[in-house]
Amino acid sequence: MKVLITGGSGFIGSNFIIFMVNKYPDYQIMNLDALTYAGNHENLKDVQNHSNYSFVRGDITDRQLIDELFRQGVDIVVNFAAESHVDRSIQDPDIFVKTNILGTHMLLYAARKYGVQRFVQISTDEVYGSLGETGLFTEQSPLLPNSPYSASKAGGDLLARAYHETFGLPVNITRCSNNYGPYQFPEKLIPLMISRALHDKSLPVYGDGLNVRDWLYVEDHCSAIDLVMHKGVNGEVYNIGGSNERTNIQIVKTILAELGKPESLISYVPDRPGHDRRYGIDAAKITRELGWKPKTDFETGIKRTIQWYLDNQGWWNRILSGEYKSYS
């Protein structure tokens, strides 16, 4: 079995590759990543010499490269490759449209051309928009994205759906809640707050800090994708959630308490445009149909995550300094 994992040097992708290389030693795992700002080849140093792992540096919008890779034989595609930071999408939407829509199209086109057995499109709960104080997103919820990032992800999802409906391509779409855990790029909420708190810097919190997210430990997400990849029903969407809703300010205060830092480090800053108030995932479908449940409660997961960042300060300090870009 040859599995092409795009965006595999990023946060979730690298965790998934580590998971797959170790669980399936008879699979050939190929990682295609452009190593842009959030892609870090150092994330995979523990598996880079494994015989069942290979790396190709390249962009999913490069039609010639994509065709060459698929011509060599690809059984399954798992597409993590995406621009994913909302703030960056507000500042520069162009690259989000290019990667998340055009890049997804390039992969789907090649997957159809060369007859892949399954195409798993990794998406986000942000495509559903914002919830009120009650209710959960289901797979039938309308797509109502509110940022250039989430709109571009929704566009990629719709292309994937269309390739299934029009051409019969065996596609699955997974939509996850906020992931956390090892190797997350330090501009994201949890690693940002950990790194700033350790340096006694102010912790910027948008608005009133009461925006709610559902938090999913990254290893649990990997196990869910594994199930979808092997047992998902063609054409189906699967929501993947952690059932751990927390406000942003709760997250920040938890981190400060774990690190023994004062709450006086918190600094409220003006809210960002189009900031969704609440996300919540109903993961009943993947539990019912594929038997998946998250194993990591938030209290355990956040302690494990904070400890990882404490034990790997060299990793994120190299990112903050820019040194990680020279890693090969």
Cα separations in angstroms, 277 against 20, 102, 267? 34, 29, 19
DSSP 126: G
Pairing mode, strands 53-57 and 266-269: unpaired
SS3 state at 54? strand
Report which secondary-structure segment, H or E, holds 240. strand 237-240
Catalytic residue among 42, 83, 125, 157: 125
Based on the residue annotation, tell me whether 126 is a catalytic residue of this protein: yes
SS3 state at 216? strand
Cα(150)–Cα(105) distance, rounded to whole angstroms? 17
Q: Answer yes or no: are the C-beta atoms of 193 and 203 closer than 8 Å.
A: yes
Based on the residue annotation, tell me whether 125 is a catalytic residue of this protein: yes
Based on the residue annotation, tell me whether 87 is a catalytic residue of this protein: no
Buried/exposed 122-138: b ≥16 CB within 10 Å, e otherwise: bbbbbbbbbbeeeebbe
Cα(276)–Cα(176) distance, rounded to whole angstroms? 16
Q: For residue 268, list its beta bridge partners.
A: 205
Q: Tokens for 100?
A: 């998340």
Nearest to 5 by CA among 27, 33, 24: 33
3-state helix, strand, coil in the chain (%, to 5): 45, 20, 35
CA atoms within 13 A on the CB side of 188: 20
Q: Answer yes or no: are the C-beta atoms of 278 and 210 closer than 8 Å.
A: no
Pairing mode, strands 53-57 and 28-33: parallel
Q: What is the largest CA-CA distance in the chain?
A: 57
Catalytic residue among 53, 128, 149, 183: 149
Catalytic residue among 42, 59, 126, 214: 126
Q: Which residues are catalytic?
A: 125-126, 149
